[in-house]
Amino acid sequence: MPVEIDIEHVARLARLALTDEEKERLHAQLGVIMEHAAKVGEVAAEEVPPTAYAIPRSNVLRPDEPEPGLSHEAALAGAPEDEGGRFKVPRIVEME
Amino acid sequence: MTEYETVIGLECHVELSTRTKMFCGCVNEFGAPPNTNVCPVCLGHPGTLPVPNETAIEYIVKIGLALGCGIAPRSLFHRKNYFYPDMPKNFQISQYDLPVCVAGHIDIEVDGETRRIGITRVHMEEDTGKTTHAGATGRIAQADYALLDYNRAGVPLVEIVSEPDIRSPEEAAAYLREIRATVEALGVSDVRMEEGSLRCDANISLRPTGSDELGVKVEIKNLNSIRSLERALTYEEERQAAALAAGEPLVQETRHWDEDQGSTLTLRSKEEAFDYRYFPEPDLPPLEPDRGWVESIRASLPELPAALRARFDKDYRLKPAQALILAGSREWADFFVETVKLGAAPAAAANWMTQDVAGNLNKAKLELRDAPITPQHLADIVRLVEDDTISLTGAKQVLEEVLASGADVEKVVEDKGLRQVSDTTALAALIDEVIAENPDPVDQVRKGKDGAIGFLVGQVIKKSGGSANPKVAQELLRERLSGS
C-alpha cells in the first residue's frame, strides 16, 4: 500500500534545502520505509493496541540524587564558539 | 451596542525544587555560573538515555491532587520537536495526549465571592536553557548572535492549564495568586516569579455576552509578575473591545507584553503555527502510578490556602481581605501565627502585617523572608503600642528600623527616644507654650469647633519631638481650654 508523503513539507520541517533530484530520490526512499512500517498493521490483529515501546516496562525512575556531570571546560569543548562561558550560536531568526 | 464578555484561560509553568534535573543527575539550582550544571544527557549528546526523577513525579502528583485532578493510570512522555537552540536536542520532552493529571479545579476569592476555575490538565516537562540575545539592543530581531546557558535545560517543569473559566483580569490575578499559594504550600517549588520559577502565559478573547462560542483568542507572553498579568489583560481586553466595536477583525496570534510601554505587540500569528510533530518519547517507558502510592500522597497533603483561610476566619476573625493575604503564602501565615502566639492580638498583628509590613517590603522590593524582621519584633511593637509606651507614629518608625536592621525593638525605642511622655507635669509646660502660640485654633476650640483640637495635639507632639502621648496631650488640652 503506497503511503502519501509531502516531501516539500517534510523537508521544510527538517530545515533541509533539497534539490529536485534529492526530493525525488528521498521521496522514493521514504516511501519504501513507510510501506515497510505499514506492514506491521497487516500482521497486528485488532486486539493488539498500538505502542511506541518495544519492551513492556513502566515506571523506570531514578532517585533524586545528584551525579557528577561534565566540567565546565568539557561541556564547552565541543562548541565551535563560546563567549563568557556560554555557547555562541548564530542569531536566531523566526522561521517563515 | 453589543456587550462583551471576557474569556481568559491561563497556562502556568512551575519549576520544581527537586535537587536534580528531570532526566539526569545534574544539580537543579538557580544562579550558578553558566554551563556548570550540565552533562551529556541535558546537553543532548548522542547515545544518552534520560531517566525521570521520581521526586519530580511525586511532586506533580501532589500538585494534581491539590488541584482536585484525577491521576492518570497511564501517562506518556512525548517529544516536542522544534528548531531553537534553547534545547540542544532540538526537542523538548513534554507530554501530549496523556498527561499525568487531568480535570481538576481551584476555588478563588474575588470581592468576597468564591469562584471555581476548572483545571484542564497538569503535565510534566523539562525546562529549556537560557538564551541571551547579544547585540546593541538585546532584542531578537537586531541581535548579532545568541549565547546559551544550559543550566536550566532539563529542570523539572510542571505546566498547569486552566479551563477558559476566568472572566476578568482581576480573577486572573486571583487565580495566579491561588496557584502560587497552593504550590508553595505543597513545598514543591519556590514559585518566585522574579526568578522565573513561576511563569504564566494568558489566553484572552471576547464574545457577545450570553454567547457560548469562543471568540478569536490572543495569547500573551512575557508576563513576569501578577501585576503584569493584570495590566496586560486589562490592556488586551480594551484593545479587543475597541476593535470589535469598530468592526475590525481580530486575528489569532501571540502578543508580547511590553511592561514599560504598557501595551502588547504582535509576536507571531497562529497561521504559521509550529508543527511540533509530537511523538511518544521512545526512551521513556510509560508512567503507571501505583494507586496505593497516589493515595498515600493524598493523605500526606498539607493544609492548603483555602482551608487555611477558613481556619484564620474561624480562629482569629480576620477580615476576608486580610485572611486572603496572610493565608496566601506559608511564610506570611507562619509569621502571623507565630506573632499571635507571642501575645499579639490577631487583629493588630493582621493590620500591621497587611498594611505597614507589606507596604514597606513592597517599597523596598523585598520578600518577607529576605527582611530581618521576626515575629518577636512585631509582637513587641504591638505590645508597646497597646500599653501606650509608644505612639502609632513612633511604632511605624520602629518598624521601618527593624525591617532595615533587625535591631531589638526596645533598643530602637530608646535610641530614637520614642518612649511616649505620659507624665502630665512634663507635658504641661509644652501645652502652655502651644496654647500661647496658637491663639486662633485655641479660640475655635473654646467656641466649640472641636476639629481644631487635633491641630493643637499635633503641635504638642511636634514640640515633644514625637514623644508626647497624644491621648494624654488631648486630655490635658481639653482640661486647660475648658477651665478658663
CB B373 within 8 A of CB B357: yes
Query: Residue B263's CB: how many other CB atoms inside 10 A?
Result: 15
Put simply, the chain B residues between 234 and 273 with a CB less than 8 A from any chain A CB are: 268, 272
CA distances from B415 to B213, B284, B360, B418 (A): 66, 65, 21, 8
Put simply, the chain A residues between 17 and 56 with a CB less than 8 A from any chain B CB are: 52-53, 55
Average pLDDT over residues A12-26: 89
| Higher pLDDT among residues B470 and B295, named by residue | B295
Query: pLDDT tens-digit profile of B449-459?
Result: 777 888 888 88
Residue B385 has pLDDT above 70, yes or no: yes
Three-class DSSP category at A94? coil
Average pLDDT over residues B434-456: 82
Q: Give the least confident one: B194-203, B271-280, B283-292, B361-370.
A: B271-280
Domains in chain B: ranges and CATH: 4-295 (no CATH), 303-415 (no CATH), 424-482 (1.10.10.410)
Best CA proximity match to B202, nearest among B7, B439, B415, B56:
B7
| pLDDT at residue B430 in the model | 80
Query: pLDDT tens-digit profile of B14-46?
Result: 999 999 999 999 999 998 999 999 999 999 999
Query: pLDDT tens-digit profile of B280-332?
Result: 999 999 999 999 999 999 999 998 988 888 888 888 888 878 888 888 788 88
Average pLDDT over residues B458-481: 80
Q: What gap in Å lies between CA B336 and CA B326, rounded to an integer?
A: 7
Best CA proximity match to B10, nearest among B172, B194, B124, B215:
B172
Q: What residues of A are in contact with residue B131 (Cβ under 8 Å)?
A: 92
Q: What gap in Å lies between CA B181 and CA B200, rounded to an integer?
A: 15
pTM: 0.76
CB B66 within 8 A of CB B300: no
Contact B285 A88 (CB under 8 A): no
Backbone torsions φ then ψ of B380, nearest 5 degrees:
-65, -45
Query: pLDDT tens-digit profile of B240-268?
Result: 988 888 888 888 888 888 888 888 888 76
Backbone torsions φ then ψ of B219, nearest 5 degrees:
-100, 130
B482: Cα within 13 Å, side-chain hemisphere: 10
CB B427 within 8 A of CB B465: no
Average pLDDT over residues A65-70: 94
Q: What gap in Å lies between CA B23 and CA B125, rounded to an integer?
A: 10
This model of the complex carries an ipTM of: 0.81
B224: Cα within 13 Å, side-chain hemisphere: 10
Residue B423 has pLDDT above 80, yes or no: no
Query: pLDDT tens-digit profile of B133-182?
Result: 876 565 656 668 889 999 999 999 999 999 999 999 999 999 999 999 99
Q: Which three cell numbers stand for residue A48?
A: 493488539
CB A87 within 8 A of CB A79: yes
Strand locations in B43-187 (E): 70-71, 78-81, 91-94, 101-110, 113-126, 130-134, 145-149, 156-162
| pLDDT at residue B120 in the model | 96
Q: Give the least confident one: B71-85, B96-110, B347-361, B417-431.
A: B417-431
Cross-chain CB nearest to A61 (options B19, B54, B268): B54
How many CB pairs (< 8 A) connect A and B?
A: 135
Cross-chain CB nearest to B144 (options A57, A76, A91): A91
Q: Which residue has the cell 505590645?
A: B383
Domain ranges for chain A, please list them. 7-40
